[in-house]
């Protein structure tokens, strides 16, 4: 709080808040000293272990020292030094607090409260019901394996935060077989065959509030989870020999061609036939397809990112050809320049390609705009697209080189690790960020796996760091999926990258192509077949549809436009959109697909829509256009938002800073967007400048209102709309009136939403 108040005073060039700042700094320093003292006491009474303890201890002590130094600088009236020390102290308490929370609440403290990580109180982790539990027969090998996975899942989700590698209360660890059966400081916790005499069962069944009840915090184990542990112990607490099966879902790597369901009257196209089978399974009826007006607007925005002109809408609505929708999609996909300018946004987000920001000032970052634009315009086959990014040319190396951050960084952000994280996330739908710091607690990926993959991109062998502390172990070099091949120990990085690229794009890497088709599906339908799209080990709502799309994509030349055509011309895409009130429902495990999810225009689509319908938003801005060859500049009739350097308007509407990979955007409206669209300088100046031009061009309100409705909403105004609009603009249209009307239309759901 002192830091925030100091910023206010600094911005205002005043000293009005100094009394409050002084009091807060003294209170903060005093509490830091007390926290450090109690922390040193606590470490002797609690059984903490692992690197996080040392990191928490020393960052806490450093924070205390910094806070005392800030007090000294404040008393000495060394204002600049005080501000610097105060800022560093805030950073210190943030880092120390993170590790403190990690020790107190476990490694999942940041993620366990998210909606998609909440499980039912009445269901055991994994949701397995053991039908063989009551048949009285000995368990076979498969049943033992299933039971073992379930037991480990229960322990992982409920016990690791206090009894794992990072924290070991009561000398008890439950994350490994040998530790579980060894027990803790009071002896074994399991008596094989006798759950009633097993300490673990006693502890988890004690009433809430009992001092020995476990878990001590968080939700208690459900009845089914307790019953599963009792059943396991009653069976003798069996633990199969050999490699342990993962407690996490692991998607198949190899491609698969599922059998095509039979055609019906509602479903003839392959996509529709798979969706029809899904609908039958979930007792969902097909709805009628959307009208021509909705369809043309939807397809224009999805393919070229622009509103259709009134003339195009009228021609399409009056076209009597039965295949006019297929012809429309084909014509839009053939508008190569418009297609490239729109899909540039999607790939800029995913590939961290931007035109300004961190790294450009110091020369530690390179854009790939020319290469990316040319690749999209020519519809470069996806396998070649991937190869040129991983084994790059001069124009495409910006992705693999990452960002050389200014100043000291931690080990998980060095450029080689960035390359590993980005390749895994973008092309394989795999998040390695957790495993870049420590063994992942949301998957089976280990720290050594992340470093071995990062080492492929390194000029020298990397030393493994755990939570930013060197371990003395050197990383090997290997692929994340050993089934794809083995990297040769070449001293030349370029040779390894070429080999990696060849391995990743081979047909047997079904994961590469599943990830791509899932991303495209999510972009067009508002929700992926697998969600989140960067967690491809999650269960899809239709495994067959996902596998078919990926297999077909691989067999048909890795042609993204052909994939788009197949989806856009399916009856599934043409279904009425579905409204989702809570964004959390999109990633819930019980999501049921019924059609396209209704979504807002992206920041770029909204800006381009304003430019087409009313007045160019970026006619005088500094653009990335300067980075493109003159031949490309001539293809662009007005500055498209995908080529504009980020600004507060684009940020407010959801464009990310692209310093990290962004593979999805939140479609929900928020307060920042409302404020920017109400009071933002960029938006309002665009409307005002446009209003001046429209006033000069349309002297009567009747003509002006009708033309504005046609260009923005693609239709004539209804009589009541016309009457209200004429009152807003005035009999003789005023600049303020025109500006108000355009603002009202731009904020209308019919304009902002993709139905």
Smallest CA-to-CA distance from 522 within 538, 506, 504, 500 is with 538
Assess if residue 278 is contained within a domain: no
In this structure, are residues 101 and 167 in contact, taking their beta carbons and an 8 Å threshold?
Answer: no
Assess if residue 152 is contained within a domain: yes
Can you give the length of the chain in residues? 755
Q: Which two tokens stand for residue 317?
A: 């609505």
Tokens 């003339």 correspond to 311
Which residue among 210, 234, 258 closes a domain? 234
Assess if residue 601 is contained within a domain: no
Residue 121: predicted pLDDT: 36
In this structure, are residues 702 and 726 in contact, taking their beta carbons and an 8 Å threshold?
Answer: yes
In this structure, are residues 152 and 158 in contact, taking their beta carbons and an 8 Å threshold?
Answer: no
Which residue among 505, 536, 562 closes a domain? 505
Q: Are residues 148 and 67 in the same domain?
A: no
Residue 631: predicted pLDDT: 64
Q: Are residues 95 and 165 in the same domain?
A: no
Provide the number of structural domains found in the chain. 4
Residue 118: predicted pLDDT: 46
The rounded Cα 248 to chain-centroid distance in angstroms is 20
Burial of 179 (0-12, 13-18, 19+ CB in 10 A): middle
Taking CA atoms, 372 is separated from 38, 300, 416, 477, 480, in Å, by 55, 21, 22, 29, 26
Q: Which two tokens stand for residue 529?
A: 């077949």
Q: Are residues 77 and 168 in the same domain?
A: no
DSSP string, 483-510: GG------S-HHHHHHHHHHHHHSTT-H
Q: Are residues 158 and 215 in the same domain?
A: yes
Assess if residue 422 is contained within a domain: yes
State the Cα–Cα distance between residues 204 and 260, nearest whole angstrom.
Answer: 49
Contacts of 211 (CB under 8 A, 6+ apart): none
Provide the domain limits for residue 84: 2-105
Query: Model's pTM, two decimal places?
Result: 0.76
Q: Which two tokens stand for residue 278?
A: 């899904």
Assess if residue 379 is contained within a domain: no
Taking CA atoms, 436 is separated from 14, 422, 450, 538, in Å, by 45, 12, 6, 20
| CB count in 10 Å sphere of residue 233 | 23
Task: Give 10-residue mean pLDDT values along the chain (755 residues).
Answer: 86 83 92 89 60 80 92 89 90 87 65 50 41 64 82 83 78 88 92 93 88 81 91 89 77 97 96 98 97 98 98 98 98 97 97 90 89 97 98 95 80 92 97 87 87 95 90 94 93 95 98 98 97 95 98 97 98 96 82 96 97 89 58 76 93 93 89 91 95 95 96 96 95 95 96 95
Assess if residue 474 is contained within a domain: yes
Which residue among 202, 234, 266 closes a domain? 234
């Amino acid at each position: 709080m002192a830091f925030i108040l100091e910023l206010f005073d600094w911005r205002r060039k005043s000293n009005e808040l100094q009394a409050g700042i002084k009091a807060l700094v003294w209170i903060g320093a005093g509490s830091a000293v007390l926290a450090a003292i109690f922390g040193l006491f606590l470490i002797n009474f609690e059984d903490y272990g692992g690197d996080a303890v040392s990191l928490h201890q020393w960052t806490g002590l450093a924070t205390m020292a910094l806070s005392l130094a800030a007090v000294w600088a404040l008393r000495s009236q060394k204002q600049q030094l005080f501000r610097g020390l105060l800022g560093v102290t805030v950073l210190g308490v943030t880092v120390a607090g993170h590790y403190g929370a990690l020790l107190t609440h476990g490694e999942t403290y940041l993620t366990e409260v998210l909606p998609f990580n909440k499980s039912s109180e009445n269901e055991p982790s994994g949701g397995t019901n053991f039908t063989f539990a009551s048949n009285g027969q000995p368990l076979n090998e498969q049943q033992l394996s299933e039971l073992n996975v379930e037991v480990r899942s229960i322990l992982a989700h409920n016990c690791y935060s206090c009894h794992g590698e990072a924290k070991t209360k009561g000398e008890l660890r439950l994350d490994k077989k040998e530790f579980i059966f060894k027990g803790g400081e009071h002896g074994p916790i399991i008596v094989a065959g006798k759950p009633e005499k097993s300490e673990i069962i006693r502890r988890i069944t004690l009433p809430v509030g009992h001092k020995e009840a476990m878990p001590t915090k968080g939700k208690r184990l459900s009845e089914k989870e307790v019953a599963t542990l009792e059943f396991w112990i009653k069976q003798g607490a069996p633990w199969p020999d050999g490699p342990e099966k993962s407690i996490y879902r692991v998607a198949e790597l190899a491609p698969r061609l599922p059998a095509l369901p039979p055609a019906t009257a509602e479903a003839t196209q392959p996509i529709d036939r798979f969706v029809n089978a899904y609908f039958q399974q979930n007792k969902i009826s097909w709805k009628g397809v959307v009208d021509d007006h909705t369809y043309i607007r939807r397809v224009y925005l999805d393919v070229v990112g622009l509103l259709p002109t009134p003339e195009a809408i009228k021609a399409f609505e009056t076209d009597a050809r039965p295949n006019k929708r297929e012809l429309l999609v084909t014509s839009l996909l053939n508008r190569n320049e418009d297609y490239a300018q729109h899909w540039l946004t999607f790939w800029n987000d995913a590939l961290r390609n931007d035109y300004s920001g961190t790294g450009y000032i110091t020369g530690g970052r390179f854009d790939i705009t020319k290469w990316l634009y040319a690749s999209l315009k020519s519809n470069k086959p996806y396998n070649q697209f991937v190869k040129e990014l991983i084994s790059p040319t001069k124009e495409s190396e910006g992705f693999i080189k990452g960002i050389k951050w200014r100043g000291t960084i931690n080990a998980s952000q060095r450029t080689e690790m960035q390359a590993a994280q980005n390749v895994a996330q973008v092309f394989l739908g795999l998040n390695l960020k957790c495993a870049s710091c420590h063994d992942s607690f949301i998957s089976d990926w280990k720290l050594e796996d992340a470093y071995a993959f990062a080492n492929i991109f390194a000029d020298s062998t990397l030393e493994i760091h755990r939570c930013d502390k060197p371990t003395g172990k050197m990383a090997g070099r290997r692929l994340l999926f050993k089934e794809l091949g083995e990297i040769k120990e070449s001293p030349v990085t370029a040779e390894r990258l070429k080999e990696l690229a060849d391995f990743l794009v081979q047909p047997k890497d079904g994961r590469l192509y599943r990830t791509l088709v899932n991303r495209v599906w999510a972009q067009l339908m508002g929700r992926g077949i697998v969600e989140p799209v960067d967690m491809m080990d999650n269960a899809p709502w239709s495994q067959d549809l996902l596998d078919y799309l990926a297999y077909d994509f691989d067999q048909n030349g890795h042609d993204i436009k052909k994939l788009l055509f197949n989806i856009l011309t399916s009856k599934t895409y043409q279904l009425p959109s579905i409204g989702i009130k809570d964004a959390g429902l999109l990633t819930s495990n019980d999501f049921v697909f019924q059609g396209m999810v209704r979504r807002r225009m992206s920041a770029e689509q909204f800006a381009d829509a304003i430019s087409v319908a009313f007045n160019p938003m970026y006619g005088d801005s500094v653009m990335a256009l300067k980075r493109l060859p003159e031949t490309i500049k001539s293809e662009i009739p007005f500055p498209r938002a995908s080529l504009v350097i980020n600004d507060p308007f684009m940020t407010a509407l959801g464009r990310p800073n692209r310093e990290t990979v962004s593979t999805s955007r939140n479609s929900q409206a928020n307060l920042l967007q409302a404020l920017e669209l109400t009071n933002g300088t960029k938006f309002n100046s665009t409307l005002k400048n446009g209003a001046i031009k429209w006033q000069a061009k349309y002297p009567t309100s009747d003509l002006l209102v009708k033309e504005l409705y046609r260009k923005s909403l693609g239709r004539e105004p209804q009589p009541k709309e016309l009457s209200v609009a004429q009152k807003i603009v005035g009999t003789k249209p005023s600049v303020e009136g025109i500006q108000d009307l355009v603002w009202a239309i731009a904020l209308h759901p019919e304009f902002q939403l993709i139905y």
